[in-house]
Structure formats: structure tokens, C-alpha cells
């Protein structure tokens, strides 16, 4: 029997979203839109992934004048391996309309 | 409406930043910066989510756990000292000098414990409670096994067992907090 991953479904969804364009830096709101994970869940998840070395974060200057720089995220090599090991069949389909808080 | 709405969401995320532990502040700066890029209609739930994330991070912080248990131990020790003083006061009325001295002595020890915990943290509770627990346990064993049971010795035994239970509880709380803080620190 294959060993089950101990990371949550939502974390797996976020990792897969980041895996779609592994070279690009992705913003928090962009990830929320793509995964339908609310900010109250997504940010603590990103913090953990960063702590564990699966994600790297940096400040990126906004292309729009007068707007503040944004925090952007990208998978590290360890995060890429973790994301590639996810079994996509197990994941529920993401759907909009869950709200953006939790 | 919009003019009032925008500062409100920013205030919520700023509050989340204040609630979050120091080592996580940069993440909440990131959320505050992100607000400008969230469509207006979605800003409020986004900000509420950030506030919940701030609370969650605060609760998960090992420093917060230590602070809560430290406050709990100090309050518990102060409460128990107050009960011992009340007991000693009652004994002074009935001229039971030894019991009065025991009550004040235990109250003093718990006050010292509370102050030491306030200054040095939970490890002071462990450092002070463990030897006191051993002394009280030895005294209780002596009273139970080394002398014939009398009404007075039974009363002393009951008082000592009471203090052993309180100290044991304090020791368990302090040790558990230290253990969980170490585990959480390792997970971060």
C-alpha cells in the first residue's frame, strides 16, 4: 500500500498551483484566486511551507505606479519534489464561492 | 462608502500584524501590501482572513504558550498563597501556633515561587517545585509511616498532601509547556 502524504489537501492544492508555473513568482491574491483557498488559511500555510524550506518568498516591485511592492512566492527544489510527489487523484476539485476569510 | 471601507480593511490587517508574533510581522506586512491588489469587493473577507491568520499565528507561537502558562502559574501560586494566609489567619484565632506558622510558611514559599516564575519563567517553577515536592513527600511519608496516627498528624498529613497536589499540578503544567514549546520551536 502506498504511503499517504501527511500534508493537508489544501496545502497539496496550493503546491500544485505553484507547480503549474514553477519558474514564476506568484502573489498571495493570485494563489487565492487559483486555488480558492481563503487568506486566513492560505497565509499560515505559506508561512509553514517557507519555514520547512519548500517555498521561497521575496518582495517584488509593483509594475503599477504608486502601488506598494508585493510579496511573491515560488517553490524551492525541495518544494518542487514535494509537489511532484502529490497524487492528484486524491484531491477534491476546487470551486469558487467559499469566501475569502477561512 | 469606499472611503470609509478602505481604511477599515487596512486597519484590520494592521491589527492582525499587531496580534501576530514578532517573528511573523513581515508576513503581515506582505498581507497589508497585498490588500491594494485585491478587488474592492473582496477586501473585507481578505482582511478578516488576515486577522484570523494573525490570531492563529499568535496561538501557535511557542512564546505565547510560555507566556500563558507563566501567567497561569503566577496567578495559581498567588491564589494558593492567599488561601494559605487565610488558613494561617484562622489558626491564629484558635491559638494553633504550629499550624499558623505552617500556613504562613507555605504562603511565603508560594509567593517566592510566583516572583521567581515572573522573573525567570517556567523553569523557575520546575527548579523550585521539584525539591519542595520531594521534601513534602518525605515529610508525608514520615508522618504516615514513622509515627502513630493522631488527629493532629492526620491534619498535617492532609495539609501536606494538599500542597503536594498543587505543586505536582504546577510542575506538570510547567513541564508540559516547556515540552510543547520545544516541539513547536522544532516544527517552525
Candidates B84, B126, B72; CA nearest to B109 is: B84
- Measure CB to CB from residue A40 to each of B36, B38, B52 and give the nearest one: B52
**pTM reported for the whole predicted model:** 0.66
C-alpha to C-alpha distance for B104 and B88, rounded to whole angstroms: 6
Residues 90-149 of B with CB under 8 A from A: none
Contacts of B182 (CB under 8 A, 6+ apart): B62
Q: How many contacts does A have with B, using Cβ atoms within 8 A?
A: 74
- In which band, very low, low, confident or very high, does the pLDDT at A14 lie, cut at 50, 70 and 90? very high
> How confident is the model at residue A91, as a pLDDT?
66
Judge whether B36 is closer than 8 Å to chain A, CB to CB: yes
B50 touches chain A (CB under 8 A): yes
ipTM above 0.85, yes or no: no
Q: What is the pLDDT of residues B61-111, one digit of tens each?
A: 888 888 889 999 999 999 999 999 999 988 887 777 888 999 999 999 999
Answer yes or no: do A40 and B48 touch at CB < 8 A: yes
Q: What percent of chain B has pLDDT over 70?
A: 94
Amino acid at each position: 500500500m502506498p504511503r499517504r502524504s501527511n500534508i493537508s489537501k489544501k496545502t497539496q492544492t496550493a503546491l500544485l498551483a505553484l507547480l503549474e508555473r514553477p519558474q514564476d513568482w506568484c502573489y498571495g491574491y493570485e494563489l487565492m484566486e487559483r486555488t480558492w483557498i481563503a487568506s486566513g488559511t492560505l497565509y499560515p500555510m505559506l508561512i509553514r511551507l517557507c519555514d520547512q524550506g519548500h517555498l521561497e518568498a521575496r518582495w517584488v516591485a509593483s509594475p503599477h505606479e504608486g502601488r506598494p511592492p508585493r510579496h511573491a512566492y515560488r517553490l524551492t527544489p525541495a518544494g518542487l519534489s514535494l509537489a511532484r510527489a502529490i497524487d492528484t487523484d486524491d484531491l477534491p476539485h476546487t470551486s469558487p464561492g467559499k469566501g475569502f476569510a477561512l | 462608502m469606499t472611503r470609509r471601507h478602505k481604511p477599515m480593511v487596512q486597519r484590520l490587517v494592521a491589527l492582525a500584524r499587531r496580534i501576530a508574533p514578532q517573528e511573523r510581522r513581515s508576513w503581515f506586512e506582505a498581507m497589508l501590501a497585498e490588500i491594494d491588489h485585491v478587488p474592492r469587493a473582496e477586501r473585507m473577507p481578505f482582511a478578516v482572513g488576515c486577522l484570523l491568520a494573525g490570531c492563529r499565528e499568535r496561538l501557535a507561537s511557542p512564546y505565547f504558550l510560555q507566556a500563558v502558562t507563566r501567567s497561569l502559574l503566577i496567578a495559581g501560586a498567588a491564589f494558593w498563597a492567599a488561601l494559605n494566609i487565610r488558613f494561617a489567619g484562622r489558626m491564629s484565632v484558635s491559638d494553633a501556633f504550629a499550624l499558623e506558622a505552617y500556613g504562613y510558611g507555605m504562603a511565603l514559599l508560594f509567593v517566592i515561587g510566583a516572583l521567581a516564575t515572573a522573573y525567570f519563567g517556567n523553569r523557575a517553577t520546575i527548579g523550585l517545585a521539584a525539591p519542595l515536592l520531594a521534601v513534602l513527600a518525605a515529610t508525608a511519608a514520615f508522618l504516615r509511616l514513622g509515627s502513630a496516627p493522631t488527629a493532629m498528624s492526620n491534619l498535617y498529613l492532609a495539609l501536606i498532601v494538599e500542597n503536594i497536589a498543587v505543586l505536582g499540578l504546577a510542575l506538570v503544567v510547567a513541564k508540559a509547556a516547556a515540552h510543547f514549546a520545544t516541539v513547536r520551536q522544532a516544527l517552525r
